[in-house]
Structure 1
């Protein structure tokens, strides 16, 4: 392997490992909390679904990249397509979970004097799990025609390696990217629109709340304002990293549609596609006081353990 490829693989491994640890930490802590209380709130359900989907997605992608660049797996093998479909499915689930989590935050925190919004506020705990399930079901149903079209189009493809190499590269075989990424991009746009609306509503709510406090002569550093600002910071960070993820997917889509060189293996794209879920997992931990306290405690214990090992060896 070239040295540049090794460096990129190491960077990808570090970014993915951070995301896997973050999602795994959220999953374990949240699961332990639900097991002790014997109940699962809507927030816990969204957080558990999000961390589970991201854990599976990033772990599978990391294993695949390691196998591909160390064992040089043939990009036309069944494993290649299995990894792609698994990544697309769990990536889309994680985006829907994150989107409905943003909507849940917005409805719970924002104060908007609108009958529809007030109706949502009273029923959001029941509606969000159903909307998440409906979103995933719609995504799966939407993918079915493309799935049938893809396998119908590639039934004479070189899956058994019986065709010449230049035949498979000349358009006889088609990668799954060109069939499914347009659908994925469409759902990305829907997710981004819903999250943008949530951010705008929270901004309006925070601005009105701060204006009312100033009129009444009360300081703006009250608890409600702090909650607004905290949730706003969380959503803005999500929006920033989601934008990076969306741009990376656009670049990947362009490469996949206009070329046929197995761009799923491009480590540059893999790194950018892993930045968003990894960063968002860390933001979720830091945004939750109990998880943040436990996370810092674990880091301190690990640091103390490493120091003690260093002293004992010296």
Structure 2
């Protein structure tokens, strides 16, 4: 790959990283300032803040991996650095996914209308248990990320280092198969559970909305009440997460499997560029779907616009 292509890809990566940091930092800053001002934080704000922080770390790890792959590819032939990068990528990835799943569950419990005793009990308890659930998600993510640090043995690192110089031996193939199986399990298969939970929450929201609309039709034709708007807003947030999540994992699977093939650095980098879209763009969808964050963003835009106009007037 030429220097021009490398520089172009890195500029794109830095651009996606900057946008993601801006959106997630804005969510965290607004909620933290409101927390300090009111001496308390709402459960939805706590989830959004934790999700934003986890995605900031995820963005940093992905960008660091892009820089290492381009500027210092030999790092992947050493043990300690590669283990650290893989561990924190796995950790931040799972934490981000689980926090997003908590957000989907919270939307479902707060907005959906069902009368099952279990649902009503969970709806009543959800505000109190959110901090504990987030801590459990963090602890579980640490636990399932630990096998990554134990799976990167010397044989695999030699395979990565010399994949362009030597033919693959039987030991190398067996080692790659072992690494691939653990990688798929820890980074992909385990993520299917939170994805399934979010999908079920989305489907139940659709069912709740459908039942609510039928009830409203008995009262007034074409009426659009706050409950319907709440359903639609929650469904937009969840479906955007699901779609971006699928694109993220497909690109991540390409990047992961490409380490086992010759001449695939370009595929790895492109996969990581696509992966950056998920934690970067979803934050702005959450901002637009949250009234407090949306109003805060409008105030910031007005102040920035006013400052730019003032600077333009002062310019001779």
1:1-314 → structure 2 map (5 Å cutoff): 1-66=2-67, 68-70=69-71, 74-77=75-78, 78-145=80-147, 147-148=149-150, 150=151, 153-154=153-154, 166=165, 171=172, 178=180, 179-217=182-220, 219-256=222-259, 258-259=260-261, 266-309=268-311, 312=314
Q: 2:8, 2:313 → 1: CA distance? A: 31
- Return 63-72 or 276-285, whichever deviates more: 63-72
| Maintained 8 Å contact 1:209/1:225 | yes
- Offset from partner CA, 1:225-277 (integer Å, 9 cap, x none): 11111111221222221121122123234324x43768598221111111111
- Structure 1 residues 104 and 245, CA gap change in structure 2 (3 angstroms): same
**TM-score (normalised: structure 1):** 0.85
Is the 8 Å Cα contact of residues 154 and 174 (structure 1) preserved in structure 2? Answer: no
CA separation of 1:155 and 1:191: change in aligned 2, threshold 3 A = same
Q: Deviations over 1:142-187 (max 9, x none)?
A: 4445543x15x4389669x9x9995797629869963334222122
* Counterpart Cα distance in 2 of 1:23 and 1:279: 9
Write the distance in 2 (CA, Å) between the matches of 1:262 and 1:216.
61
For the residues of structure 1 that align with 2:194 and 2:205, how far apart are their CA atoms?
A: 17
Deviation, 1:308, is 4.7
Unaligned runs of 5+ in 1: none
Q: How many residues align?
A: 309
Is contact 2:68–2:75 with CA below 8 Å preserved after alignment?
Answer: no
> How many angstroms apart in 1 are the aligned matches of 2:114 and 2:256?
39
User: Following the alignment from structure 1 to structure 2, what is the Cα–Cα distance between the partners of residues 156 and 209?
Assistant: 56
* Aligned-pair Cα RMSD in Å: 3.2
Q: Give TM-score scaled by structure 2 length.
A: 0.84
Any conservation in 2 of the 1:169–1:260 contact (CA below 8 Å)? no
Gaps of 5+ in 2: none
Q: CA–CA distance in 2 between the matches of 1:15 and 1:130? A: 32
